[in-house]
Amino acid sequence: RLTLQTNLFSMTTYNVLFEILIEQICTQVMHKQHPDPDSTVKIQNPQVLKVIAVLLRNSPPCSETMEVHRVFLSDMIKLFNSSRENRRSLLQCSVWQEWMLSLCYFNPQSSDEQKITEMVYAIFRILLYHAIKYEWGGWRVWVDTLAITHSKVTFEIHKQNLSQMFREYEEKGDECCSAGPSSIIRTVSGISKDAEVTEKLHLLEKKEADTSTVDIDNRSMNNSIMKDEGRLPDFEEHSNLETNKEKNKTENTQKTLGLN
């Protein structure tokens, strides 16, 4: 609902959410940075941390958003350094590493982005040290953090590679358009359309040739089988003739012996 009117995350909105986070409501609306929290301030509604992180991630980049970003990370560092309960309240949240990593810049382009990234790393050091030293089964937090970080970094690298490929594709497309209508049309993969069509035709011709070869082989096999079947009656007829001759010869011999 906070983003229905505008996507800009102002300092005023952040101050209100911070008051809800610690349940210390101020009677006046503050448009500037609120006072630094002391060691007595406790996190009462840790789910608000994720709300603030999502609003910062969806907010358009500008100087005010960068300032809110810096103040939010600074407040978290102070809250976690001053109280063990504050650290435990965040560690009990589900998949907190994902939205925490969304607050940093994997490829910082300015000193401000580099400073914000270092602040996020400092929060991770505080929480992971607490998990190992004070929490039972804290090593699971390390394992989950490594897995989520690996997934997040891999996804960011994949997005950068896709963006680079798309930029190269646009540059090649502009070069082709400037060369004239007869230029080669290229795809995102870098292979020309004509080359793709030629390759497909070559594969189709090869498939048809293989099919015709199989048909010829089948026909040759059928013809040989038919020839063998045709030779079988001839062989049987020849065998019958030889048998009859032997039979007649035997009968003539017996008759001759009978006359004698």
Tens of pLDDT, residues 142-175: 999 999 999 988 988 888 888 888 888 888 877 6
Amino acid 232: pLDDT: 46
In a domain, 235, yes or no: no
In a domain, 125, yes or no: yes
| Contact residues for 50 (Cβ-Cβ < 8 A; gap 6+) | 93, 96, 99
pTM (two decimals): 0.62
Amino acid 204: pLDDT: 72
Give 119-145 pLDDT, tens digit per residue: 999 999 999 999 999 998 889 999 999
Query: How does 132-166 read in b/e, with b if 16+ C-beta sit within 10 Å?
Result: eeebeebeebeeebeebeeebeeeeeeeeeeeeee
Alpha helix (H) residue ranges in 83-138: 84-91, 96-101, 111-134
Print the domain residue range for 99: 11-131
Instruction: Lowest mean pLDDT of 49-53, 150-154, 159-163, 219-223, name the range.
Output: 219-223
For residue 90, give the nearest of 21, 9, 3, 25 by alpha carbon: 21
In a domain, 177, yes or no: no
In a domain, 106, yes or no: yes
Number of structural domains the chain divides into: 1
In a domain, 244, yes or no: no
Residue 231 in tokens = 């030779």
Amino acid 196: pLDDT: 62
Amino acid 96: pLDDT: 94
In a domain, 67, yes or no: yes
Give 178-211 pLDDT, tens digit per residue: 655 554 545 544 555 556 666 767 777 776 666 6
In a domain, 192, yes or no: no
Give 64-108 pLDDT, tens digit per residue: 899 999 999 999 999 999 899 999 999 999 899 999 999 998 888
Beta bridge partners of residue 186, listed in sequence order: 192
Provide the 8-state DSSP code for 24.
Answer: -
pLDDT band for position 225 (cuts 50, 70, 90): low
